[in-house]
Each structure stands twice: as C-alpha cells, then as structure tokens.
A and B are shown apart, each in its own frame.
Chain A
Amino acid sequence: MAGKNLLDKVWDLHSVRELPGGQTQLMIGLHLIHEVTSPQGFQMLEDAGLPVLMPGRTFATVDHIVPTDDLSRPLADPLAEEMLSTLEQNTEKHAVRFFAIGSGHQGVLHVVGPEMGLTQPGMTIACGDSHTSTHGAFGAIAFGIGTSQVRDVLASQCLALVRPKVRRIVIDGELGSGVTAKDVILHIIRVLGVKGGVGYAYEYAGSVVEHMTMEERMTLCNMSIEGGARVGYVNPDRITFDYLEGRTHAPEGEAFARAIEWWKTIVSDADASYDDEVAIPASDIAPTVTWGINPGHAISIGESLPRVESLPDDERGSAEEAYGFMQLEPGAPIAGTRINVAFIGSCTNGRLSDLREAAKIAQGRKVEAHVRALVVPGSELVKKQAEAEGLHEIFEAAGFEWREAGCSMCLAMNPDKLVGREMCASSSNRNFRGRQGSPTGRTLLMSPAMVAAAAVTGAVTDVREFKG
C-alpha cells in the first residue's frame, strides 16, 4: 500500500467522525480570529446561549480596519472603532487571547500567527479569512472560513468539511536573479488558472521550495486560494524547525525536541500517493506582473499584453472585461505601464525579508514625483525589527511613507485607499476591480522588489535592471 501525504495524515489525526454525505467532522487545533468576521460569530454564539468550547485554542488580533497612520482611540472611523471595541469585549468576555494595538504583537493575523510560534506543523488551522492558507507553509492544514463556520469553531472546536484531493506541484531547478516566491505563485496561478485548484489542496515541493525560507514559503502558500485551492502546504523540515525554535508559543526545552520528532512523522511519505502532480520548471519563471482583474491575468515582465484572440475561448470574455477596466492595450509591453501608487505590505508580502528586498531597491533612490508610495509592515514586530535594521530610514529618505502595521491597502477597509482610477503597483494578493478602495482603482500585483522598482521609476520596471 502506498504511503500517505501530509494532508491525509493530519486530516486523519483530527477526524472526530465521518458525517453523512462524505464530510468529516474535523477538529480545529488553532483558531485565529480578527475583527471583521468574528463579531457576528460571537453574537450567534450568544444568541444560542453557548460558551467558547476551547478558548485557549483561539487567538485574536485586529488587522483589516486598523489605520496605519493615526492609531489614537477612539479611531477616526466610528465603524472601525465599534468593530475593534467589539473584538476587545468578546475576547475579554470569552477569555480569548487578544494581541492588541501596542502589545508589540498586533498586525496581520497571518503574519502574527507564525511569528508568535502559534502556527506549527501538523495542526489544523482555521480563520475567517481566505489567506489562512498562508499557515500551510509550516505543514499545517489551514483554510479560510466564513462567519457561520467561525461560530462553529468557537462552539465546538470543529468544522464539517469535505476532504480535498491533493495536487503535488513540483518546482525544480534554480530561480533566476530577481525572481521571488511571489513570482513563483503568480506563475503557478497563471499556468493552472484561478479555478485550477478547486477541490484540491496544493502540496508545494521540489528543490526551489526546499530551499525557500519560511517567509518565502508563506508567500507561496498565501496565494493558493487565488488559484482556487483552499489549502496549500509545504512539508516541514529543518528550515521549519529552526524558524519555530524560541518563538513565544512554540514548545520549548524537551518539549521542543519531542515536537520535532512528532513533526517529522507528519511529513508526506516518500511513496505517498497524490491525486495529481504538476511539474513547473524554475527556469520558466521570471518576475511576473498581473495586467487584469484576477490574479490569473499575469505575464512575465518581458512580455507584451496578450491579444484577446490568442487566449483560450473561455478566457476571452474576462480578458475583454479586464482591458476595458484597466485601460491597457493588448500587444503593449507591461513594462513601462505608468503607476500612481506603490503599496508594499499585506499578508502576502509584509514580512521582514519582503521589506529588506524592497529596501535594497529603494536605497539611494527617490520615489518618482507623481507616485504615492506606502510601506506597511505586516505586524508590530516586523516594524520593530525593520526599524532596528534602519529600513525605515532608507524608505523615508527615498520618499516612501513608513506606516503602522495592518492589512491597509490590500483590501482598503481602513483609510488607505486608491483614489479614482489610480493605478497601483502592489505586493498584495488580489487585483479584483475596486479591491484597493476605489471602485475604479486599478491594481497590478507583483513582488515587493518590483513594487519598489516601479515606485522609483514611476512605471512597471524589471527589477533585474537594478540588480546588475
């Protein structure tokens, strides 16, 4: 009999029982909550007269609505203040750990969980946010849920879910200079499509992934959902264990040694079976930029925008819609596209290594006069670490605004928004119409280094031109 992949091992361990019709009642080992999807969940619990079953397995922070310039209370937006206050009250009432603004650990939940050592291999993790797949970088099975399911986890520490199939995506070879984890995942989405992952968990493997840092693996897993895969994961290894060692909520001492031995057992077996396998040569991947209105509308920096007639039939409609919205010209190179805003941040690319890469480009250069540029650290801790390295001074000297931690312009629920038809070079994860706060605002997704390059030239630019 063939061995098992990580998803099957973790799923079987957490299976409480099988439910009729092919669903599993799955125990959720770690529940992360934020201010946007939890208030109604707590209210439903209250209406049902139920407690939080395992408050010690739930952790909260505030990230979507938090301003990144003025954090004084009450927040300037009364709705944001109400949302934050409600989370504070709910976490206090139910004895849920809350990382408040100013605690040193507030920030984007998918940055905070890992940096606090909460996210660990072999866990099942749920959060009311699609980018929960980020935590799969550790070899956890992590997925986004909606508010009714947030209520279910609070009440029962369980969810009713269908076990996904597993597609192994093998990326072998070496990435070229200037090619980052963001480019890898944008390339995968381009190749497999925005629906390609529906019904699947993605297992990322191959020498490229084996050599990635944890922060790079998080970027990779984060955008699994953009490819339709609710879950994306990487098998844990020494890189994972080293990252976790010494973190606040990670096991310590002898427990850490025992944890490592256990974590090794949940790695996919060498003879594990998969429902599908896809090979992607690293040599195919170049710095990648989106041009349209979903993350699958992406091309390499050296390419020209695709002509509608060259696309598969079922993609022509959305391409035409994209061109109408983006006001870009088929056949034109993507390089040279003028931008108005540059945004570095988000759960996809708001970590310390992301800021370092962007700072290398910003160093000694100036943001173009017509560009507004924001750097938003993914958490208070990232901000502190970046400042200890002097990154904020590099950015500010270059003309970037150095901000407080939060989701910010990734989805613009806070005051950081595009205006009118502004075009934004963004290190975030979605380029849907209106995503960044203006109904007619336009988004080009790319890596943080590429965003910095665009900021200092005023247009989409091949970052490799800066690397020599």
Chain B
Amino acid sequence: MSKTEKITGRRGKGVVVRGHDIDTDQIIPARFMTSIRFAGLEDHVFEDLRFTADGTPKGHPFNEERFAAASILVVNRNFGCGSSREHAPQALQRWGIGALVGESFAEIFFGNCIAMGIIAVTASADDVGKLMDSIELDPDQEIAIDLESKTVTWRGGSAAVSIPDGPRQQLLEGSWDAMRNLLSASDEIRATAERIPYIDGF
C-alpha cells in the first residue's frame, strides 16, 4: 500500500461482529502485544472471543469460512473503546480489514484507523442493523463505501454514512499519513516553540 494513496472508498465483502463496547483488549489481548513488530498480530485478532483457553474454536464470524475474504467490518456502538495503542487496528488491518462501518467508534481508535488509512464511518443503528442482516444472509455480496458521496451500498440497500470532515479530506487527498504534512510546517513549529515559556525553561 502506497503511503500517499488517495482513498476514495472501499469495495469488498463484509463481516459482522455484533455487540456494543467491544474494547481493544477483545480485539487484540495484551499478551499478544509483546513483539516489537506489528506483524503477527493478525493471528490473534479477537483471540479470546474466537477460541477457548485450550485453543478450541468458538462461534465467531472471524472463524467462519464464509467471511474469510472480508475486508469491510460492520460493528455496533463504541467499537474500539479502551486503549490508545495502535495494535488493535493493526491487527484488524493485517487480517484484511480495510474499512469499518459502525454506529460509533471510540475516539482514539478512530484516529488510529485514519492514521493507518483504514476507513471508519458511522451510520445509524437502524442502517447498521440492516447492513449486518444483509451481510449475514449473503456474505459473498460486495459492499461499497464511497467517501465522496458519503454512502455505503449493499445489495438491496444503501445508507448515508458520516465521517468528520478533516479525516475524510485526509483520506480523499492521500494525506492520512500525517507526518509529512506536519513536517511541512517546520518554520511555524520553530516559531511556536519559541513562544512557549516552558520550552526554554522560563
């Protein structure tokens, strides 16, 4: 994936993970975050919801073959609450998720997704419910998220989606990787540092 990729939307198969307040510890348990690399996190995404302690699979959409090719994750309210650590969206992205549609997202989780080029848009609870039902009935259908028209479309329906304007522009313009843009203000950074009293020790 190019770091300057303009992301106007995503098309792909969907996967549904139901439930409010799914926290970052559920997405990637802390005991799997001990590597200095993000690679490998995908093997443990939703680990404790998907497997018992002895490794026996439990019922979970991420274990189901019909969702194995999914790239769009549909969730309920307050998804990604908990940690600011980026490991949760990294685990999802490396598993194959390129976009999320949810009723709402935790603030830091949302910011981390955008910083990584993952689309995260919200829709009404009613529309999310319809989308979830449709995906579960027909997992092979293609879901389309369009950031320009701010819609999500599925077979038999479509809905308006919301995303704050700043992140939306960042995705569309390919500036979601903030570092280069921040560094382009080097003169202003220096001027700001000069006016802050504690930076030079009062």
Contacts and interface: CB of A to CB of B under 8 A. Distances in A.
Interface of A: 13-17, 19-23, 25, 27, 29, 36-37, 39-40, 43, 48, 50, 53-54, 57, 65, 77, 79-80, 82-83, 86, 120, 122-123, 128-130, 132, 143-149, 151-152, 155-162, 194-195, 198-199, 225, 228, 230, 251, 255-256, 258-259, 262, 294, 314, 317-318, 321, 411-413, 417, 420, 430, 432-435, 437-440
B84 A132 contact: yes
B112 A195 contact: no
Given A129-B85, A432-B26, A195 B77 contact: yes
A149 B159 CA distance: 32
Contacts of B198: 29, 120, 122-123, 251, 259, 262
Given A27-B189, A155-B182, A146 B20 contact: no
A314 B20 contact: yes
A194 B78 CA distance: 9
Given A37-B85, A123-B198, A157 B34 contact: no
Contacts of A228: 78, 81, 106-107
Contacts of A413: 30-31, 33-34
The 9 closest A-B pairs by CB, nearest first: A21-B166, A144-B84, A146-B86, A39-B36, A146-B112, A148-B115, A156-B182, A439-B48, A130-B84
A283 B179 CA distance: 48
B81 A145 contact: no
A262 B108 contact: no
Contact of A21 (B89, B111, B170): B170
A40 B82 CA distance: 20
A interface: dominant SS: mixed
A195 B81 contact: yes
Contacts of A132: 84
Interface residues of B, number: 63
B30 A412 contact: yes
Nearest to B200: A255
A429 to B, nearest CB: 10
B185 A259 contact: no
A408 B108 CA distance: 24
B193 A27 contact: yes
Nearest to B189: A16
Given A147-B85, A259-B202, A80 B188 contact: no
B196 to A, nearest CB: 6
B69 interface: no
Contacts of B192: 14-16, 27
A27 B196 contact: yes
B149 interface: no
Contacts of A294: 21, 23, 81
A155 B179 contact: yes
B121 to A, nearest CB: 15
B142 interface: no
B1 interface: no
A43 B29 CA distance: 23
Contact of A29 (B78, B165, B196): B196
Contacts of B38: 40, 147
Contacts of A432: 23, 25-26, 82
Contacts of B199: 29, 57
Contacts of B53: 420, 438-440
B197 interface: yes
B115 A158 contact: no
Given A19-B166, A148-B112, A262 B34 contact: no
Contact of A412 (B26, B31, B86): B31
B26 A86 contact: no
7 contacts: A29-B198, A39-B36, A120-B198, A155-B179, A194-B21, A198-B104, A294-B23
